Structure formats: C-alpha cells, structure tokens
A = this chain, B = another copy of it.
C-alpha cells in the first residue's frame, strides 16, 4: 500500500429485496420538502415511482417533481434543477434512477446555492463548493456508475462538446442509497450490458497502474472475477436474482474509493469515452467498450507485469511455456472474448464516430496521468482510428 491516504465513506447502504422499506426511517432525518429527481417514464411503468411517492406521502412530505433527467444529463437541465431546488427550498433531493440521475442530483445539490456559475466552477475549474449543499438520497434502478456511494458527477455540455466530471467531497455524497436488485430487472439489455462494462472499466482503470504488490489489486481481481461470472449468467437470464445482486454490489465497490487506495490509477479509457459521448451522445458504458481493446493493446508494453497478473489471476490464463508479453496479451484476448459474449459495442463507428470527427474527439479528450504510456494527442487519434 503506497503513499499516505485517508479512507472514509459516509453513505449508508440498504441492500436487498426489502430495502425500500428503510426509506421511511431515513426520511425522518429531513425536512418536509423532497425534490424527486428521475429520468423518463420507466419508473412510472414498473411501479417504483408509485411505491416511492406513496412512502413520501405517508411521511407527510411535499413532493417537488423533477422528472426528465436524461442519460448524459445536460448543463441546461442542471441549471433548471438547481433553480427549482432553490425556489422550493427543498430539504432533500431523492434521486430515483441510474448513474445519470444520481450524478445530476449531486450536481444540483451543490449548484442550487452556488453564487457563481456551477458548470464553470465545478466542472471546468474543479473548485469545491463553498455554499450550502442540499442532502441527496438515492434509489438505484440501473447499475454501473457507482454513483450511489461516491462523490462523482458527470454533466454534458453539448454546445461546448464537452462532458465534464467533478468528484465532489463527502458532504455531497448520497446520505443513503437504497439498492434493490429487483429494481434493475426491467432495464433494457443494451443499458444493462453497458452498465456491466462500465463496472469492469472502473475496476480496470484503477487496476492498470503499476504500484508493486498491493492488497487493493487482490480486491480488484476478486471483483472482476465476480463480475465476469455473474454477467454471463445475467445476459442469459436478466431476472437471476443471485447474479444481479452480485453485480449490483460489485458496481458499488468498484468505484467508492476503496480500489483507489495505494494506487495511482489511469482513467484514460474514461477520458476518451467521455469525448466520444460529448460528440455522439452515445451511452457511456458503450463508449468505454468501443475503445478499451485498442487502448489496452496500445499501452500493453508499458505495463507487461500488471497485464500478466490480470491474465493469470482474473482470467486463469495458463502461463506455462509462454513469455510474459504473450501471457499479458492473452489476458486482453480474454477480455475481448468476454465483451463479445456479453454483447457490448466493439467499434466506435457503431456509436456514430466518423473518420472526420476523430480529430475533434481527440481535442475534447482530457489527458490525465498515464502510467504505462506517455499519451499525446497523436496517440489518442491512433487509438480512436483503431477503434473504428
């Protein structure tokens, strides 16, 4: 475990088939005005909306409706939600949905009383809130982002062709999150599978940086093995409770800061994926899937020992009679095979990326710390071309 770090996580999780029953108890901690943020009509069709509104009414809450949160929530919607939350002086924002809705709720929570432009302040300048933050609770209906137990918030500015991410502090993390695996049963296959890959990508982004022997890597390997196993069951039978519950729990622990401890991290697949989304509005997890194999093949030689460990410990590659590069490379082949089995998008061209907007996507890509390969703009272009 390298370096010095702090670990703490204030989010309370309620997990299981009966977890919504804990909402009542949690609501007692907040004032009467609850802004209910959610996406399209799906939670109205599957009954979750009615179940939640009933509990809110039983507890005497005034519900401020805030539907219509889109996937890749926009800066315009952020402004609208912040104004609504402030006007109504809401005591709690209850986000019912997937990562987009919860990311949005965290953004609104920090924006309502922000005296400067929140997009500029948080998502561009990466400053921390100095204003009052509205408490957020979440009821998760789609799995992948880990937004239910972290401070992350990603908002899209389509005019600027930029998807901006901000990691807020503990004060802005959900106070509680309700995780009922059955609430994820009705998610369409495309979104479900995109979520599965998002989880895998979160783990890989943190795993694929080189920091010696580290307990965190063993935890990451365990979570990847669990995800691979359960995802193959879930794509055949989306209502398999055991598989869906394991995936839900894995998603939460994949990105709640535990897997970051003692690691540098990479996050370049996310940076390229965000840039693709900003230009195409494609589903987040699929943007990651479309560039992962070209990306990892591109940087492989800078991280042979870590990719070798991945191949053996995660995929069970037999190392006998092979050199390190061959073993490492077989791990990426196994990843590719699994991605095809669960059915993710393997080419960015399928998401609307065209030869003539590759340069613009590269320009929208934020280049982070890269441990295995010192990436430049030309490398991003090359990776994007190989992803087509």
Q: Which residues of A contact B (CB under 8 A)?
A: 1-19, 22, 181, 212-216, 218-223, 225-226, 229-230, 242-243, 245-246, 248-250, 253, 261-262
Contact = CB atoms under 8 A, between A and B. Distances in A.
A174 to B, nearest CB: 11
B248 A1 contact: yes
A2 to B, nearest CB: 8
Q: Which of A213, A223, A250 has the most CB of B within 10 A?
A: A213
B261 A15 contact: yes
Contacts of A22: 6
Q: Shortest 8 CB-CB distances between A and B: which pairs?
A: A4-B16, A222-B222, A218-B222, A8-B12, A218-B226, A1-B245, A7-B13, A215-B226
A105 to B, nearest CB: 19
B213 A223 contact: no
B242 A213 contact: yes
Given A222-B219, A222-B222, A246 B214 contact: yes
Contacts of A261: 15, 249
9 contacts: A1-B15, A1-B16, A4-B17, A6-B14, A213-B242, A213-B243, A219-B253, A221-B222, A249-B262
Q: Which of A4, A253, A262 has the most CB of B within 10 A?
A: A4
A7 B15 contact: yes
State the number of copies, please: 2
A367 to B, nearest CB: 28
A206 to B, nearest CB: 14
A4 B9 CA distance: 20
Contact of A246 (B9, B15, B215): B215
Nearest to A176: B8
Nearest to A14: B6
A248 B216 CA distance: 12
A242 B219 CA distance: 16
A245 B216 CA distance: 11
A222 B230 CA distance: 17
B7 A19 contact: no
A11 B6 CA distance: 11
Nearest to A229: B213
Given A225-B218, A229-B213, A249-B215, A12 B7 contact: yes
A135 to B, nearest CB: 15
Contacts of A5: 15-16
Contacts of A17: 4
A386 to B, nearest CB: 32
Given A213-B242, A218-B222, A6 B13 contact: yes
Contacts of A262: 245, 249
